Amino acid sequence: MNGKSVLLIVGGGIAAYKTLDLIRRLKERGVTVRTVLTDGGAHFVTELSLAALSGEPVHRDMFATDTEGRIGHIQLSRVSDLVVVAPATADLMAKMAAGLAGDLASALLLAADKKVLLAPSMNVKMWNHPATKRNVETLKRDGILFVGPAAGDLACGETGSGRMAEPAEIFAAIEAQLIEHRPLAGMKALVTAGPTHEAIDPVRYIANRSSGKQGYAIAAALALAGAETVLVSGPTDLAPPYGIKLVKVNSAREMLAACRAALPADVAIFAAAVADWRPETAADAKIKKAGAVPSFRLTENPDILAAVAQGTPRPRLTVGFAAETENLDANAAAKRTRKGCDWIVANDVSDGAVFGNDSNRVHLLTEHGVEQWPELSKREIGERLVLRIADALKGIEA
C-alpha cells in the first residue's frame, strides 16, 4: 500500500480514539493519511493528536481554500484513493443517505469520486432503529462499503451491535480496497486453522495447542490476493479476516465435512492443529470424581490433509503444516510423502514458544527441496506463502 492515500473522516463518537491507532497502522505501511475532524469528533480527539500522528494538517472548515484557491472539500476527495469514515455515526450516515451537505464531512462525502468505507459506531437501539436500517440499505445500494459494527459492550453501558470495528479490522478492510495486484483473482482457496476439540464429556475435551493466528494470517493474505477464500476454523478467540467466508467447527469430523463442502478449490492450506485421536465414546454428562481415575478408549480421527490431497476433487495445490519437536526436515519430508500433499510448511515447536506468538520461523518443503525462511511475523509468512502459491499456480495446468 506504499504511496496510497486515505482521507479519514472522524465522526462524533467515543470510538473516535481508535482512529489514532488506525492512523499509526496506515502510516507504518506507507499510506498518506489526511484527516477531517467533525465538530462531534473534536469532543473525543484533538486536532493536535491527529496532526501529530498523520503528519498532515487537520481539516475542519467547510469554506477553507488551499493555496491555489480550489474548494477544500472537492480537492480532498480528488487526491485520495479511498475515503474512510470512522466512527460513522447515525447522523453522518443519515446525511449521506439523504444527500445533505451542510458541513465539511457531509459535503466531502457527497463530492467524493472514490470508494467510501464506513465503520459504524452507535448505541444498539440506534443501530437497530428502522431509520438507520433504511439508511444502511440505501448506502449499500449506492455502493458504500461497510466494516462492522461488532456486538459487545458499548460505552453507554448497554450490550449489543453498534460497537465500532477494531483498528486491525478497519485496516484490513482498507488494505483490501487499496491493493491493486491480485494474482489469485478468480480462484478459490480453502484454509483450515486453530485446534479441534474432541469431547470427553460436556465440559472436557482433548485438543492440540494452537492459537489459529498463522491460519488466519494465511486466509487474510489469500483474500487480499483476490482469492475467494473459505476459512474452516476450530475454536479460537480471533476475529475473522476481512473478505473471507468463516466456517466454525469444533471436532475433526466437523472440520473434514466443512472442507469437503468447500471443494472444489484451486488451493487448500491445512494449518489447523487437528487432534489425532478422540474418545471412542463421549459421556453425556460431566464425569464426576469418584475416588478412581476414569479410563476411556481413544480412536483415530480422520486425516483431513490426506483425505483432501488424495481425494476427488483434488485442489490444484495442497499445502500441509508440520509441527515437529525433533528431526524437523526429515519428519516433515516423510509427512509430505505420506499425506500426498504438494508442499509442507514445517516449524519446530519443541520449546512451545511459537504457540500464540505473533512471529514464527518455518521451513518450506516442496518437490525442489527445503527453503529455510528467516523469523517473520505470521502476517509476513502468510503473505510470502501466498506469493509462492500464486507463482506455482501459474505453472499448474488448470
> Is the model's pLDDT at 397 over the cut of 90?
no
The distance of Cα 208 from the centroid of its chain, to the nearest Å, equals: 23
- Mean pLDDT for 117-129 is 93
Q: What angle do CA 37, 42, 46 make, to 5 degrees?
A: 90
- Mean pLDDT for 151-180 is 83
DSSP assignment letter at 364 = E
Contact between residue 252 and residue 173 where contact means Cβ atoms under 8 Å apart: no
The distance of Cα 106 from the centroid of its chain, to the nearest Å, equals: 29
If residue 268 lies in a helix (H) or strand (E), which one and from where to where?
strand 267-270
For the chain, list the domains and their CATH numbers. 5-178 (3.40.50.1950), 188-394 (3.40.50.10300)
> Is the model's pLDDT at 290 over the cut of 90?
no
Report whether the peptide linkage leading into residue 202 is cis, meaning its omega lies within 30 degrees of zero: no
Mapped onto helix, strand or coil, the DSSP state of residue 14 is helix
pTM: 0.78
Contact between residue 27 and residue 53 where contact means Cβ atoms under 8 Å apart: yes
> Is the model's pLDDT at 153 over the cut of 80?
no
Q: What are phi and psi of 109, to 5 degrees?
A: -65, -35
Contact between residue 56 and residue 34 where contact means Cβ atoms under 8 Å apart: yes
> Is the model's pLDDT at 4 over the cut of 70?
yes
184-222: per-residue pLDDT in tens? 999 999 999 999 999 999 999 999 999 999 999 999 999
pLDDT reported for residue 289: 85
299-340: per-residue pLDDT in tens? 999 999 999 999 999 999 999 999 888 999 999 999 999 999
Cα–Cα dist 310/353, whole Å: 33
pLDDT reported for residue 161: 80
pLDDT grade for 72, boundaries at 50, 70 and 90? low
Q: Which residues pair with 319 in a beta bridge?
A: 269, 343
pLDDT reported for residue 295: 86
Q: Regarding predicted confidence, which is higher, 306 or 66?
A: 306
Active site residues: 156
Cα–Cα dist 2/178, whole Å: 10
**What type of residue is 82?**
L
Cα–Cα dist 132/335, whole Å: 54
